[in-house]
Amino acid sequence: MAWSKQMPKNPVVAVCGATGAVGREMLNVLEQRNFPASKVVAMASYRSAGKKLPFAGGELEVIEMTPESFEGIDIALFSAGASVSKEMRQHVVDAGAVMIDNSSAFRMEDDVPLVVPEVNPQDIGWHSGVIANPNCSTIEMVVALKPLHDLGKIKRVVVSTYQAASGAGAKAMDELYEQSREFLAGEELTVEHFAHQIAFNTIPHIDKFLDDDYTKEEWKMVVETKKIMGDSSISVAPTCVRVPVLRCHAESLNIEFANEVSPEDARRVLADAPGVTVMDDPANNVYPMQGLLAYTDDVYVGRIRKDPTVEHGIALWLVMDQIRKGAALNAVQIAEMLVG
């Protein structure tokens, strides 16, 4: 049953998992976009209760997230992990709030919309109290695929990701820093948060391996793309790779269409697409780069060219800040749509 409660124009917003990297970014995005909240509440585990977080020129004191915390809350932005989201789901809904969840807990449930506002905003209309944020790598890809699919109907996508260390959390970023120092000093490397050395290395392994030898991260890109795009016929062949970059994920895409799509056509529709910035001038070495696009909001597209290995093919390159658009910004954009 779709949600029937009226969202107030100035809702009370809770950021759940507020002390984590994405939670802090959610607070930043709420402030920067002047979200019309009547009040913002920062929630986290009991270990973080009492901490102070900067917000809107002042501070928010973190309160402990409990089943009773959601009374009076209208929108709960969750980035506290799948287990916490599952534990708190019913308490949030029973309190009359809408949960916008950044974890993988509910993404593939039939009664939970999986939403990227630039791609499938209409799906928000059938939520029943929970809306899921997709995986960051999927968000990056579908923002670019949607205008192209409208142009020429996509049959197949071969995607390789180049995912930043921060996608594995703050401690993973620290490990990249520390390993880089150890490597340059000729010391033995400390490997804790990744399966292998990440400094000066790439690791073709994100999340656990499944029975078909693809990883869970790769599986997410396949099934989430079909759900968000509303087209189960799109084939996705992914390889997800961790690279020694601090922030921003990149992706290389080879797209096969049912109809002829020229690089010029692709460039034109992408330039007009919401949430997309085209950076594509190879003659002047202009293309998106991860190290230069941190803290930005768009999906940046470059290296747009013909793929001559299939009948109707285009190749391109994407960069996106996965903490902003890949998590915090996408969640706040969904909240903005709820408010209208």
Overall domain count for the chain: 2
Please indicate, yes or no, if residue 286 is contained in any of the structural domains. Answer: yes
Single out the residue of 216, 235, 210 nearest to residue 225, CA to CA.
235
Same domain, yes or no: 276 and 129: no
Same domain, yes or no: 93 and 169: no
Please indicate, yes or no, if residue 1 is contained in any of the structural domains. Answer: no
Mean pLDDT for 36-45 is 98
Tokens of 85: 């989201």
End-to-end CA distance of the chain: 21
Beta-strand pair 39-44/12-16: parallel
SS3 230: coil
Q: Tell me the per-residue pLDDT of 253-268, one tens digit each, with 9 for 90 and over.
A: 999 999 999 999 999 9
- Whether the CB-CB separation of 246 and 163 falls below 8 Å is answered with no
Mean pLDDT for 217-237 is 98
- Whether the CB-CB separation of 129 and 103 falls below 8 Å is answered with no
Give pLDDT, residue 169: 87
Same domain, yes or no: 212 and 129: no
Give pLDDT, residue 44: 96
What is the C-alpha to C-alpha distance for residues 285 and 272, in angstroms, rounded to an integer? 22
Q: Measuring CA to CA, how many Å separate 80 from each of 15, 22, 45, 83, 336?
A: 9, 9, 9, 8, 21
Mean pLDDT for 147-167 is 97
Give pLDDT, residue 5: 81
Beta-strand pair 130-132/235-242: unpaired
Q: Measuring CA to CA, how many Å separate 46 from each of 14, 63, 288?
A: 16, 8, 41
As a dihedral over the C-alpha atoms of residue 105, residue 108, residue 114, residue 116, rounded to 10 degrees, the angle is 90
Mean pLDDT for 16-34 is 96
Please indicate, yes or no, if residue 5 is contained in any of the structural domains. Answer: no
**pTM of the prediction?**
0.96
Tell me what the pLDDT averaged over the chain comes to: 97
Please indicate, yes or no, if residue 147 is contained in any of the structural domains. Answer: yes
Mean pLDDT for 218-222 is 98
Same domain, yes or no: 112 and 170: no
Same domain, yes or no: 187 and 200: yes
Same domain, yes or no: 41 and 156: no
Please state, as a whole number, how many other Cβ atoms lie within 10 Å of the Cβ of residue 205: 15
Same domain, yes or no: 286 and 169: yes
| Burial (CB count within 10 angstroms: exposed 0-12, middle 13-18, buried 19+), residue 77 | buried
| CATH code where residue 281 lies | 3.30.360.10
Please indicate, yes or no, if residue 2 is contained in any of the structural domains. Answer: no
Question: Rg of the Cα trace of the chain?
Answer: 20
Tokens of 167: 């996608």
Same domain, yes or no: 182 and 155: yes
Q: Which amino acid is at 210?
A: L
| CATH code where residue 123 lies | 3.40.50.720
Which amino acids are annotated catalytic?
Answer: 136, 249
Please indicate, yes or no, if residue 213 is contained in any of the structural domains. Answer: yes
Give pLDDT, residue 1: 59
What is the C-alpha to C-alpha distance for residues 33 and 26, in angstroms, rounded to an integer? 11
Same domain, yes or no: 128 and 266: no
Same domain, yes or no: 298 and 333: no
SS3 61: strand
Please indicate, yes or no, if residue 83 is contained in any of the structural domains. Answer: yes
Please indicate, yes or no, if residue 6 is contained in any of the structural domains. Answer: no
Does the pLDDT of residue 60 top 70, yes or no? yes
Tokens of 178: 């520390």
What is the C-alpha to C-alpha distance for residues 294 and 292, in angstroms, rounded to an integer? 6
Same domain, yes or no: 143 and 260: yes
Same domain, yes or no: 288 and 151: yes
Give pLDDT, residue 340: 86
Q: Tell me the per-residue pLDDT of 189-203, one tens digit each, with 9 for 90 and over.
A: 999 999 999 999 999
Does the pLDDT of residue 206 top 70, yes or no? yes
Tell me the residue range of the domain where 168 lies. 138-322
Is the alpha carbon torsion for 286, 22, 107, 105 positive or negative?
positive
